[in-house]
Amino acid sequence: MANFIREQKNGNYTYFNRNFHIEPTNLCVYDCKFCSYSRLIKQRSDADAWTYSMEEMMDIVRKYDEKPVTEVHIVGGVLPQYDLKFYQEFFQKIKTHRPELHIKALTPVEYHYIFKKGKVSYVEGMRLMQEAGLDSMPGGGAEIFDPEIRNKIAADKCTAEQWLEIHRVWHELGGRSNATILYGHIEDYRHRIDHMEQLRQLQDKTGGFQTFIPLKFRNQANQMSHVPEVTGVEDLRNYAISRIYLDNFDHIKAYWPMIGRSLAQLALAFGVDDIDGTIDDTTKIYSMAGAEEQTPVLTTQQLVELIRRVGRQPIERDTLYNIVQDFTDVEFAEDKQWRGYIDLPVVQP
Ligand code: V47
Ligand code: SF4
């Protein structure tokens, strides 16, 4: 059924984009139990802690000057020095340097914190961000909306209501955003449904969400390592239910750095029509949590190939799902580094 809905909404298309991430810091004032990536401020001298300056982050932006990327995805830990003024200046600098690069940045977790500190309302704050160059908001920080579970795994950071309110405000300003769920830990199925129901209700009001991204809990090197991970079959079922339940979302994304490329390929037969981007090894969130993809990098050719090998049409999109290039009939030279993902079409178009 999920595949039927996927094909009704998106045909045989499978979307990807060319993007890179900037993670300003992995130090964080919060202490989410599932987070393998962050370090507390008192751990700032640890070898694996980082805080990039504005110039260091601009160096990352400049590294992509000659490359055909369309999006920079910016998200990281929450720290007092990365405040409203800092991000305003950073977004402005990126736009001055490369105006057409789409800035998909920060989540309500950061926004709630920096707006409170900057003494501005959500509406004022989001307007300032928009003026500084923010183009869209990624889906992170949603975790699980149910207050009891949220409190156990992500106490202190913005509540479900605040997360939803910041997205609502952003949508009313004409912005687009994504939504995630962190599943497969201590929640029950009813919590997953409650989470999707709240997203579906908001989407009915604003229509501002583009994509739903289920994020599988990975259990290495965090305070929830004793909680086993769910199986790949469970992941596929979860994608399928998401596709069926969220009838007012256009897209469901399987984030390949998190579940690995083979499962991402399979997911394309279970309701998924998007597999995110080339990433270029610029995110540490999942490699630090034990994902198979320790250096998440796929070339455009590899992304295209893995979509084709399960019988789908690869479509490069920009962040807002405008088609950049239809790769259905584009031919490449043989890829000598091909690492043998799934070869047989799982779905015959
Ligand atoms: O909110 C952190 C998750 C999220 C773990 O909008 C973990 O296009 C599993 O939201 N196991 C941030 N998940 C990443 C995110 C995202 C990723 C890709 C694309 C988009 C988009 C958004 O990562 C956090 C949290 O839910 N996370 N640690 C972990 N151990
Ligand atoms: Fe901080 Fe985000 Fe990690 Fe929570 S998930 S500790 S808010 S970096």
- Interval 68-123: pLDDT, tens: 999 999 999 999 999 999 999 999 999 999 999 999 999 999 999 999 999 999 99
pTM, two decimal places: 0.94
Please tell me if the CB atom of residue 255 comes closer than 6 angstroms to any atom of ligand 1: yes
What CATH number is given for 2-326 in this structure?
3.20.20.70
Nearest CA to ligand 2 atom 2: 77
Ligand 1 centroid–CA 182 distance in Å is 7
Q: Do 214 and 239 form a contact (C-beta atoms < 8 A)?
A: yes
Three-class SS of residue 88?
helix
Of 151, 134, 285, the closest CA to residue 221 belongs to: 285
Of 336, 315, 168, 306, the closest CA to residue 251 belongs to: 315
Q: Measured between alpha carbons, how far is residue 61 from residues 21, 41, 97, 148, 271 in Å?
A: 9, 26, 9, 40, 34
Please tell me if the CB atom of residue 180 comes closer than 6 angstroms to any atom of ligand 1: yes
288 alpha carbon, closest ligand: 1
* Gap between the Cα atoms of 287 and 311, Å rounded: 28
Of 109, 106, 104, 108, the closest CA to residue 136 belongs to: 104
For strand 313-317 and strand 323-326, is the pairing parallel, antiparallel, or unpaired? antiparallel
Ligand 2 centroid–CA 28 distance in Å is 6
For the chain, 349 residues long, give each residue's pLDDT as a single digit of tens.
999 999 999 999 999 999 999 999 999 999 999 998 887 877 788 878 899 999 999 999 999 999 999 999 999 999 999 999 999 999 999 999 999 999 999 999 999 999 999 999 999 999 999 999 999 999 999 999 999 999 999 999 999 999 999 999 999 999 999 999 999 999 999 999 999 999 999 999 999 999 999 999 999 989 999 999 999 999 999 999 999 999 999 999 999 888 888 999 999 999 999 998 877 666 666 667 667 666 667 888 888 988 999 999 999 999 999 999 999 998 887 665 555 455 444 444 4
Residue 31 confidence (pLDDT): 94
DSSP 8-state class, residue 101:
S
Three-class SS of residue 102?
strand
* Gap between the Cα atoms of 61 and 282, Å rounded: 11
* Gap between the Cα atoms of 328 and 38, Å rounded: 40
Residue 229 confidence (pLDDT): 96
Ligand 1 centroid–CA 187 distance in Å is 17
Residue 210 confidence (pLDDT): 98
> Ligand 1: which atom is nearest the Cα of residue 37?
28
